[in-house]
Amino acid sequence: MNIVVLAGGISTEREISIVSGTGICKALKERGHRAILMDVYCGQEEISMDDLFPEEYDVDKAAAYMRSFDAKVPEMIASGKEFFGPNVLTVCKAADVVFMGLHGENGENGKVQAAFDLFGIRYTGSGYLGSAIAMDKGLSKQFFEEYGVPTPKSVMLNKEDPAGRIAESGIGFPCVVKPCCGGSSVGVYIPQDEKELQDALQKAFAYEDTLIVEEYVKGREFSVGVVDGEAYPVIEIAPIEGFYDYKNKYQAGSTVETCPANLSKEATERMQAYAVKAFHALRLSGYGRMDFMMDEKENMYCLEANTLPGMTPTSLLPQEAAVLGMSFGELCEKLIEVSKKSR
- Per-residue pLDDT tens digits for 121-137: 999 999 999 999 999 99
Q: What residues are designated binding site for Mg(2+)?
A: 291, 304, 306
Q: What residues are designated binding site?
A: 291, 304, 306
Do 106 and 11 meet the contact criterion of CB atoms below 8 Å apart?
Answer: yes
- In the predicted structure, residue 150 carries a pLDDT above the cut 80: yes
137-146 helix and 265-281 helix, angle to the nearest 10 degrees: 110
Q: What is the pLDDT of residue 239?
A: 77
Q: What is the pLDDT of residue 341?
A: 80
What's the gap between Cα 272 and its chain centre? Answer: 19
Q: How many CA atoms lie within 13 A of 209 on its CB side?
A: 1
pTM for the structure as a whole: 0.90
Q: Cite the active site residues.
A: 13, 184, 315
CA angle 299, 184, 176 (to 5 degrees): 50
- In the predicted structure, residue 183 carries a pLDDT above the cut 70: no
